[in-house]
């Protein structure tokens, strides 16, 4: 399960006007708001049309036909707050209170709703859902109640939620039905009464109540942008999402029209690509296209499905095309205005407001809305009456690559519904890769491909449904492209590595890539042999992929082994992504239907470190055995 947040957005609720606030004072009644309830980081977002429809169907299925109107009355402000869970889960916030949790059960592939203390209390008060009165008045967590412990009707189906009340009609918890009239308490609390609001909420009122605060935030952000860039060259990184749309508008207000850069990864949703072009045309802005074209699909057969702990896709589909586009369009230092916010992820929480790219040293990222919550963003967009990506109203809370391993299964289920042909194409290719390696199809269908090392909660879920995850992990890591056995004779000063690349390699191609190591390369077509001489080490490779490597000490062997194996992987699996071309300091690499390393290469090894194939396959597809103390 994701780690817990220790920071929260400062969000409030006006009890008089019944609207959310991004600052303590309400702009309508001038009164002070109270702290809004919700779990950290309180990155509240509006529930849109699809969200509300899903909520209604789920609540009615769980608690009955009258329950949803009590939980989330029609026409009012309903907020969703993402919370840690094995899959997608949101707190449903109404009137400043958490009404319950709307979550996706990945084992049953279905949505569920579990009421909270406020939601349960309102359901009891309105008689809008079945509940039982516990005779002894108090219940402990995980208590199992039999029919003699309560009065009231319970659902006949197992696993349905049942609200618990005390003898005074106050909610004290929620249980699940075990069948045969037995209930198991899964949430308990002290007796709680409902807190109804007399005033109806609306988004138009919410925008008006926050108008002064939004204007102040806009002034701060535009002033920050103007100070940060100081007349330098600037572009706005535009993803097609809400945050980058706000960053774009703030940039225009701060320093005038600037180019937009869109990174088309080749796995963007069609609606996103269309929205990006629409925004550029509507605002009359230059659109710089950083396109990865089909790099993802070219890389998939060799690198396999990307994962949260194996994100080769970011390098191949994002970094490479962005670097290429920036270097082509701008000369010297350039600033990129970003829509990054600290409440999105732990990585962005740690990122400063101005940061130089470690991959593109001439590029500085500026994040003017780093401290904004999602509620800030949405209220600002509503106040500016800007059209956003239509996918938000289709149930997507994030915009990006539609098969990103950071997605939850619930998001993939929605992708299947909105873009069935895209999903079928991905499924066919992924299953083909899986079958070649003897992995079960469940590895794909359960979304286990999103990790190379499964986290504990996902392992537990997989074991519950009878999947042998240990066997799967062994198969996954056992399909190595390179196997190496180390041996040592320290008394003779001899350290050796013997191994092979599965399926062999073109020696002519390998000799070309070995130039990049800076070593002395020899190639005999007659002998079917390539040799590499490095400082303190010597290697020989045959066309069947077998190799031997000798060195005078362990450190020299370690360094030489990495260079040799990475060169073997590049020679066999290069997918022409262009990363090496971007970073070569001597322009010694040419790509024109095929890759060529020119004689001007001075062996600086920058391209080896920049190569996604060398980097990621070395981590995932190389097995080193033996007792030598050399890291694989």
Tokens at residue 454, please? 């499964």
Q: 478, 508, 524: which is the final residue of a domain?
A: 478
What is the rounded distance in angstroms from the CA atom of residue 356 to the CA atom of residue 363? Answer: 6
Q: 343, 367, 394: which is the final residue of a domain?
A: 394
CA atoms within 13 A on the CB side of 298: 16
What is the rounded distance in angstroms from the CA atom of residue 53 to the CA atom of residue 95? Answer: 19
Query: 550: exposed, middle or buried (C-beta count within 10 Å: 0-12, 13-18, 19+)?
Result: middle
| Domain, as residue range, for 78 | 12-192
* Residue 493 in this model has a pLDDT that exceeds 70: no
Per-residue pLDDT band for 119 (boundaries 50, 70, 90) equals very high
Would you give the distance in Å from CA 244 to the centre of its chain? 17
Asked if the structure places residue 202 within a domain, the reply is no
* Residue 302 in this model has a pLDDT that exceeds 80: yes
Asked if the structure places residue 244 within a domain, the reply is yes
Mean pLDDT of 127-137: 91
CATH code at position 115: 3.10.400
Per-residue pLDDT band for 314 (boundaries 50, 70, 90) equals very high
* Residue 631 in this model has a pLDDT that exceeds 60: no
Tokens at residue 500, please? 């092979």
Would you give the distance in Å from CA 590 to the centre of its chain? 34
Asked if the structure places residue 198 within a domain, the reply is no
Strands 110-115 vs 589-591: parallel, antiparallel or unpaired: unpaired
Mean pLDDT of 144-163: 92
pLDDT tens per residue across span 210-238: 999 999 999 999 999 999 999 899 999 99
Domain co-membership, 375 together with 448:
no
Asked if the structure places residue 61 within a domain, the reply is yes
Residue 327 Rama label (left phi>0; alpha psi -120 to 50; beta): alpha
pLDDT tens per residue across span 236-288: 999 999 999 999 999 999 999 999 999 999 999 999 999 999 999 999 999 99
What is the rounded distance in angstroms from the CA atom of residue 14 to the CA atom of residue 27? Answer: 10
Domain co-membership, 48 together with 121:
yes
Domain co-membership, 242 together with 126:
no
Tokens at residue 173, please? 């918890």
In DSSP notation, 23-77 reads SSB-TTT-PBPEEPP--TT---EE--HHHHHHHHHHHHHHH-TTHHHHHS-TTS-
Asked if the structure places residue 273 within a domain, the reply is yes
* Residue 355 in this model has a pLDDT that exceeds 70: yes
Domain co-membership, 487 together with 474:
no
pLDDT of residue 214: 98
Buried b (16+ CB within 10 A) or exposed e, 456-475: eebbebbeeeebebeebbeb
Mean pLDDT of 35-55: 96
Rg (CA), the chain: 29
Asked if the structure places residue 289 within a domain, the reply is yes
Closest to 551 in 3D by CA, of 538, 533, 568:
538
Domain co-membership, 119 together with 214:
no
What is the rounded distance in angstroms from the CA atom of residue 298 to the CA atom of residue 430? Answer: 13
CATH code at position 348: 3.40.50.620
Domain co-membership, 500 together with 352:
no
Domain co-membership, 432 together with 313:
no
- DSSP-derived 3-state class of residue 329: helix
Strands 89-94 vs 260-264: parallel, antiparallel or unpaired: unpaired
Strands 34-35 vs 12-14: parallel, antiparallel or unpaired: antiparallel
Closest to 510 in 3D by CA, of 559, 570, 561, 560:
570
Domain co-membership, 31 together with 138:
yes
Mean pLDDT of 513-522: 96
Phi, psi of 304 (to 5 degrees): 80, 175
pLDDT of residue 500: 93
Cis peptide before 382 (omega within 30 of 0): no
Asked if the structure places residue 491 within a domain, the reply is yes
What is the rounded distance in angstroms from the CA atom of residue 476 to the CA atom of residue 518? Answer: 33
* Residue 124 and residue 133 in contact, taking contact as beta carbons nearer than 8 Å: no
CATH code at position 550: 3.30.310.10
pLDDT of residue 478: 65
Asked if the structure places residue 630 within a domain, the reply is no
pLDDT tens per residue across span 532-567: 999 999 999 999 999 999 998 899 999 999 999 999
Tokens at residue 128, please? 């809008």
Domain co-membership, 129 together with 43:
yes
* Residue 33 in this model has a pLDDT that exceeds 80: yes
What is the rounded distance in angstroms from the CA atom of residue 396 to the CA atom of residue 225? Answer: 29
Q: 346, 363, 394: which is the final residue of a domain?
A: 394
Whole-prediction pTM value?
Answer: 0.91
Strands 482-489 vs 622-625: parallel, antiparallel or unpaired: parallel
Domain co-membership, 290 together with 333:
yes
* Residue 446 in this model has a pLDDT that exceeds 50: yes
What is the rounded distance in angstroms from the CA atom of residue 269 to the CA atom of residue 7? Answer: 32
Tokens at residue 188, please? 């308990």
Closest to 324 in 3D by CA, of 294, 295, 293, 290:
290
Domain co-membership, 121 together with 177:
yes
> Residue by residue, what is the 3-state secondary structure of 511-536?
HHHHHHHCCEEEEECCCCEEEEEECC
Percentage of the residues of the chain whose pLDDT score is greater than 70: 97
Domain co-membership, 464 together with 491:
no
Distances (CA, A) of 112 to 81, 164, 392, 457, 468: 16, 18, 21, 19, 27
What is the rounded distance in angstroms from the CA atom of residue 565 to the CA atom of residue 72? Answer: 59
What is the rounded distance in angstroms from the CA atom of residue 447 to the CA atom of residue 467? Answer: 13
Question: What's the number of domains the chain is made of?
Answer: 4
Distances (CA, A) of 499 to 504, 505, 527, 566, 568: 11, 13, 19, 13, 11
> Which residue bears the tokens 């390098």?
315
């Amino acid at each position: 399960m994701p780690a817990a947040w220790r920071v929260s957005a400062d969000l409030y609720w006006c009890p008089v006007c019944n609207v959310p606030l991004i600052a303590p004072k309400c702009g309508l009644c001038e009164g002070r708001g109270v702290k809004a309830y919700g779990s950290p980081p309180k990155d509240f977002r509006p529930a849109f049309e699809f969200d509300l429809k899903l909520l209604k169907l789920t609540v009615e299925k769980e608690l009955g036909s009258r329950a949803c109107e009590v939980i989330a009355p029609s026409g009012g402000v309903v907020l969703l707050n993402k919370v840690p869970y094995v899959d997608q889960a949101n707190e449903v916030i109404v009137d400043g209170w958490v009404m319950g949790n709307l979550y996706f059960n990945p084992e049953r592939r279905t949505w569920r709703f579990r009421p909270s203390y406020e939601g349960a209390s309102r359901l009891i008060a309105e008689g809008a859902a079945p509940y039982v009165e516990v005779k002894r008045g108090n219940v402990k967590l995980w208590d199992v109640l039999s029919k003699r412990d309560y009065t009231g009707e319970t659902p006949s189906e197992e696993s349905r939620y049942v609200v618990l009340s005390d003898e005074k009609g106050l909610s004290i918890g929620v249980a699940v039905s075990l069948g045969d009239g037995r209930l198991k308490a899964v949430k308990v609390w002290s007796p709680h009464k409902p807190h109804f609001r007399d005033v109806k909420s609306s988004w138009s009122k919410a925008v008006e109540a926050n108008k002064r605060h939004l204007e102040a935030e806009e002034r701060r952000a535009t002033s920050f942008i103007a100070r940060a860039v100081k007349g330098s060259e600037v572009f706005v990184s535009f993803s097609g999402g809400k945050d980058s749309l706000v960053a774009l508008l703030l940039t225009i207000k701060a320093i005038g029209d600037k180019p937009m850069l869109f990174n088309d990864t080749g796995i963007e949703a069609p609606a996103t690509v269309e929205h990006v072009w629409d925004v550029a045309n509507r605002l009359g802005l230059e659109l710089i296209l950083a396109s990865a074209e089909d790099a993802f699909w070219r890389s998939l057969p060799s690198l396999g499905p990307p994962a949260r702990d194996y994100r080769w896709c970011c390098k191949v589909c994002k970094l490479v095309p962005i670097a290429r586009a920036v270097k082509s369009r701008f000369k010297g230092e350039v600033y990129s205005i970003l829509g990054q916010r600290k409440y999105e992820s732990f990585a962005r929480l740690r990122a400063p407001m101005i940061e130089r790219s470690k991959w593109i040293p001439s590029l500085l990222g500026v994040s003017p809305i780093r401290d904004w919550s999602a509620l800030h963003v949405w209220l600002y967009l509503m106040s500016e009456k800007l059209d956003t990506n239509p996918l938000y109203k289709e149930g997507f809370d994030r915009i990006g690559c539609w098969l990103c391993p950071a997605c939850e299964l619930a998001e993939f289920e929605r992708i299947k519904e909105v873009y069935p042909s895209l999903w079928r194409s991905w499924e066919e290719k992924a299953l083909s890769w899986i079958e070649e390696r003897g992995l079960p199809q469940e590895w794909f269908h359960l979304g286990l491909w999103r990790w190379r090392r499964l986290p504990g909660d996902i392992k537990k879920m997989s074991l519950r449904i009878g999947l042998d995850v240990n066997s799967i992990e062994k198969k996954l890591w056992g399909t190595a492209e390179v196997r190496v056995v180390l041996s040592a004779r320290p008394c003779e000063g001899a350290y050796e590595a013997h191994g092979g690349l599965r399926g062999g390699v073109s020696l002519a191609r390998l000799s070309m890539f070995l130039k990049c190591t800076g070593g002395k390369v020899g190639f005999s077509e007659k002998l079917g042999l390539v040799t590499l001489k490095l400082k303190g080490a010597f290697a020989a490779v045959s066309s069947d992929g077998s190799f031997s490597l000798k060195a005078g000490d362990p450190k020299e062997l370690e360094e030489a082994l990495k260079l040799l194996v990475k060169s073997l992987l590049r020679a066999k699996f290069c997918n022409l992504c262009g990363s090496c071309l971007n970073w070569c300091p001597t322009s010694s690499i040419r790509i024109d239907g095929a890759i060529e390393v020119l004689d001007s290469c001075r062996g600086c090894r920058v391209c080896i470190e920049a190569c996604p194939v060398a980097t990621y396959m070395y981590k995932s597809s190389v097995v080193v055995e033996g007792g030598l103390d050399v890291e694989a």
